Structures are given as structure tokens and as C-alpha cells.
Structure 1
Amino acid sequence: VIPPPVIHIESYSEDSISFSLKMTTNIKVSGYVVNIYWTFDSHRQEKRTLVIEGEKSIQKVANLTAHTPYEISAWAKTELGDSPLSFVHVVTSGTRPVSPSLKAKAINQTAVECSWTGPRNVV
């Protein structure tokens, strides 16, 4: 039986998560597939997929959003086949930015004028 990989959160900040992947068996691993999920609002889930070559791995995922829950799932590609999935959850530190305000105004039957404003004091 192939065990799932171990995902260990090494560190996290406002905009990044570092994690390591390893197997607790002597089965040869050729790589990992990692999915990172998060939700910006209640009806839209986002996903980023990483394909990682090699047996042991430390990864840093950057360009994330502050104070946002993330789910990391991973499975290993081994000489005996694919492993089961493993999961971890982590919330980035900091304060989540305010959502932008979007305004749409119908110009005619085929055109809409849109404007938006983001949070103040953000570069």
C-alpha cells in the first residue's frame, strides 16, 4: 500500500507559504502534484496546480492574499502508481484587503461603462 505524502508547513507570511513534501516509505518517488485552493468570495473557488519533479521537495508559493485560508493537497507519483491525497490547511498572516467597488452603467444595448475603486492607501 502506498501511503499519502507528508505535507509540512515550514513557514507562512502575508503573501507566501513555504512547505515541504516527503514520503514515509522506501517506495521510489518521481514527483508530486500539488493543488492549492482558496476562496475570494462564497461562490468562486480558485486553484493553482504545481507539478514538482524529484523525491524530496521544499516549495514556496508566493503572490498570495493576506489573512486568507488556503488548502494544500498533494499526491506522489511513485514507481508503484499514484499515492492517496493528503491535505493541510493554513491561513496567511496579516489583514485581508478590502474588495474593490465596481460600478456598471448601461450606455446602450451593446455597451456598458464600468468603473472601480480599490482600497485606499494601497500601492
Structure 2
Amino acid sequence: MRSLLNKTTQGKRLSEQEYLILMNYYNTKNMDYLFTELRNIRNELKGIMESIDKKFKEAMDYADKARKESTEYADKNKKEIIDYVDKRFEAIDKRFEDLNKRIDNLRELILTLAKKA
């Protein structure tokens, strides 16, 4: 191979067989280089994919945590609102009961006054 390379650097003409051998050498050398580059690219892509998977998992964990916290907050507020509304209804019911008692007392008073008159 060295003799062929020396022959080409000296500017001598190569035979067809020598030319084919030299082309085969360069093709093999280029193929080795390409395979090495492909291996390097594959390793880089593997690293990138691992990084993407890690970031995706972190994002999903963050989203799950945020969803859980917001659901808990909404459930807590819903319970507080329901308790508040229940207490307000109880207070209103008590006021209606008191009003009904007063109306009943006034009716009785009116009836007793009407009987006396």
C-alpha cells in the first residue's frame, strides 16, 4: 500500500489494478471513519435520549405533584364552602323557626283577645 501511495505522490501513472487497490483502500478507510462517526453519533443520541427521558420524568412528576396539590386545595375549599353554606342554612332555619314561634304566639294572643272581646 505504501508503494502505491508513494507512486501517486511522485506523480507516476498507476495501472488499473493498482488504481482499484488504492480506491478500495480509500473506500475502506472512509467506511471505517464513517462507522466511527456513526458510533459517536449513536452514543451522543443515546445520551440525549437519556437526558430527555430524565427531563420528561421530572416534568411528569412535577405535573402530578401540582395536580395533586391543586386537587387537595380544591377539595379543602369545597369542604369549607359546604360547611359555611350548611351553617348559614342552619342559621336561616333557626330564624324561620323563631319567626314561626312569634307568629304562633301573636295568633294565640289575637285569638285570646278576640275571645275576651
TM-score (norm 1): 0.18
> Larger C-alpha radius of gyration, 1 or 2?
2
Q: More helix by proportion, 1 or 2? A: 2
Q: More strand by proportion, 1 or 2? A: 1
**More contact order relative to length (CA 8 Å, sep ≥ 6):** 1
